[in-house]
Amino acid sequence: MSVDISQENVQPLIYAFIGPSGTGKSHRASLVAVDKGVDTIIDDGLLIHQGRILAGYSAKREATRMGAVRRAIMQDPQHAEEVRQALRALEPKAILILGTSRNMIFRIQDALGLSDAPIEWIFIEEIATEAERQLARRIRTEEGKHVIPAPTMEVQKSFSGYLVDPLRFIFRRKGRQVEVEKSIVRPTYSSLGRFYIADSALTSIIQLSLQPMPEIAKISRIVVQSASEGILVDLEVALRSRQQLFRILERAQQEVERQLEYMTSLNVLSVRITAKGISCQAEWSAPKSRIARMPT
């Protein structure tokens, strides 16, 4: 049973952009949106408005292909309600919805209470040539890469620990220059396998990021707490002097965050550093206990 997204039952125009999986729909979604004057996109479970991810959960984070399909058509009631609420607040005049078939578009409409909304159909064959579609399929099959029509800074909030690369390009539409940023990710369910970041690797990165700072004598404790959105880091250190204490700790925070995000693609939610004392030892010292990973 669907729920109308507004009490007045005034529903937006739906631009349904359909085509087989891996043919480049997400890559061209921004172009289609600009051509149609649309700033709201629904793609693989995400609601994207003016380049910001406002609601939803990406199908690309699902562990199985079946789970990804269910997520993309918003079969989870909580997921669908989150997107419905965001749409109520936005009240968009038009929405670009991406799907692999007419039936998929209909199911997304029903989940979001948009069953009565008018539809204009757009097919990937109208936007991309056969050669371009074949290239998109090859990249998906051989490299397992997928495009999300949102900037990398937005995508990294939802894809902590994933390899996310920016993709920027400039084009002209209707006499004006338009710059678009997208993101390239590899889904969890990719047949090419997955990668893991060992606890010892995180510890080593933290240690090496602080080792060049002569003001820090040793790290006595490292705790990393994992969450779906990213990681929280808690450190205890000993300093060589009480002078400029807060400046030193602030610089250490920034360096740990910068190195972790650069080397792992993890979203670092916070870095808390506590100065536990002053040490006069000559050599820099690392903690004996490598890491303590807290339950989420």
Residue pLDDT, tens place only, 102-152: 999 999 999 999 999 999 999 999 988 888 888 888 877 776 676 777 776
Name the 3-class secondary structure at 160.
coil
User: What's the full length of the chain, in residues?
Assistant: 296
How many angstroms separate the Cα of 5 from the Cα of each of 14, 33, 216?
Answer: 14, 21, 55
Claim to verify: residue 176 and residue 226 sit in the same structural domain: no
- pTM score, two decimals? 0.62
Claim to verify: residue 122 and residue 255 sit in the same structural domain: no
Claim to verify: residue 130 and residue 26 sit in the same structural domain: yes
**CATH number of residue 206's parent domain:** 3.30.70.1350
Comparing 7-11, 260-264, 285-289, the range with the smallest average pLDDT is 285-289
Claim to verify: residue 181 and residue 257 sit in the same structural domain: no
- 174 domain-assigned: yes
What whole-number distance in Å separates Cα of residue 33 and Cα of residue 201? 42
Which residues does 27 contact at the CB level (< 8 Å), separation at least 6? 136, 147, 182
Q: Pairing state of beta strands 176-185 and 165-173?
A: antiparallel
Which residues does 35 contact at the CB level (< 8 Å), separation at least 6? 173
Last residue of a domain, one of 161, 185, 209: 185
Domain that holds residue 247: 199-294
- Percent of the chain topping pLDDT 90: 35
What whole-number distance in Å separates Cα of residue 172 and Cα of residue 295? 49
pLDDT of residue 295: 45
Report the domain count for the chain.
2
- 5 domain-assigned: no
- 257 domain-assigned: yes
Provide the strand spans (E) within 137-249.
Answer: 146-148, 165-173, 176-185, 216-227, 230-239
Single-letter amino acid code for the residue at 33: A
Claim to verify: residue 42 and residue 124 sit in the same structural domain: yes
Last residue of a domain, one of 123, 154, 185: 185
